[in-house]
Amino acid sequence: MNPALSAAAVLPLLGWSVHATALRHRLARARRDALTALPTREVFTARAARLLRERPALVVLIDLDRFKPLNDTHGHAAGDAALRAVAQRLATWAQHGAAARIGGDEFAAILPTPADPDRELAALHQALTAPIPYATEALSVGASIGGHLTAPSTTLPDALAAADAAMYQAKTLGGGWLLAPADPDASWSAPRRWKRNRPTPGTAPADTHHGRSEHPA
């Protein structure tokens, strides 16, 4: 075969290979949050729904506390660093499930078949609120976490709604974590587990907002 003709035949294939690789990279980036590299809401929803069809799971919603003061005091670069650190810690906690940044300083996660939901939520809260190294400082944020342990018949929207209600209740109580009652009609009054898991007295109060972002996505 003429070497020139052979090279001419190979060049289009090389060009397509490079294009296909670039396309795969663009698609991968589109499925990840640009700041935290966590999966997008759509990717998380699909994976969480699939996990719920297979087994019970702990569905979690998280809203950071005192994030706006941190952002205002230290600047957006520090705020971004805090969000990335929180995302990395959440991804580690949910490594056998899925995690996502759903907007601003709000996150979601699912953990399949947790042996001890209370212990898992306590460990998650401790991890997310640990000091975050930044330049010569240690940044501090709080977290309000709501969790719901699903039953075989629980749908993802129902699980997220229960976790959201628990998160909002935790936030109104000053931060920390709260596991939603298995019975949706159960009372929220004086939750026993809250008394031993709320933040240490004397810490700054949590932000009281809910359902809005303090930092642009």
Share of the chain above pLDDT 90, in %: 60
Active site residue 105: yes
Whether 203 is covered by a domain: the verdict is: no
The answer on 187 and 101 residing in a single domain is: yes
Active-site hit among 33, 65, 105, 164: 105
**What digits encode the pLDDT tens for the residues 115-130?**
899 999 999 999 999 9
Taking the C-alpha atoms of residue 25 and residue 21, their distance in angstroms, rounded to an integer, is 6
The encoded tokens of residue 31 equal 């499925």
AA identity, residue 135 = A
Predicted local distance difference test score (pLDDT) of residue 188: 46
Taking the C-alpha atoms of residue 133 and residue 85, their distance in angstroms, rounded to an integer, is 9
- Please compute, for residue 68, the number of CA atoms within 13 A of its CA located in the half-sphere on the CB side: 10
Whether 206 is covered by a domain: the verdict is: no
Of 5 and 95, the structure prediction assigns the larger pLDDT to 95
Whether 213 is covered by a domain: the verdict is: no
Residues 6+ apart with CB under 8 A from 106: 61, 62, 63, 64, 213
The answer on 9 and 96 residing in a single domain is: no
65 within 8 A of 142, measured Cβ to Cβ: yes
Instruction: Provide the domain count of the chain.
Output: 2
The answer on 5 and 66 residing in a single domain is: no
The answer on 79 and 127 residing in a single domain is: yes
Q: Which domain holds residue 158?
A: 38-196
The answer on 118 and 15 residing in a single domain is: no
159 within 8 A of 145, measured Cβ to Cβ: no
Share of the chain above pLDDT 70, in %: 70
CATH number of 43's domain? 3.30.70.270
The answer on 129 and 93 residing in a single domain is: yes
Predicted local distance difference test score (pLDDT) of residue 30: 58
- Coil, strand or helix: which one is 183? coil
Whether 217 is covered by a domain: the verdict is: no
Rg (CA), the chain: 21
Q: pLDDT at residue 15 above 70?
A: no
Average pLDDT, the chain: 79
Beta-bridged to residue 39, according to DSSP, are 32
Whether 201 is covered by a domain: the verdict is: no
**What digits encode the pLDDT tens for the residues 196-216?**
344 443 444 444 333 333 333
Predicted local distance difference test score (pLDDT) of residue 3: 57
Whether 112 is covered by a domain: the verdict is: yes
Whether 212 is covered by a domain: the verdict is: no
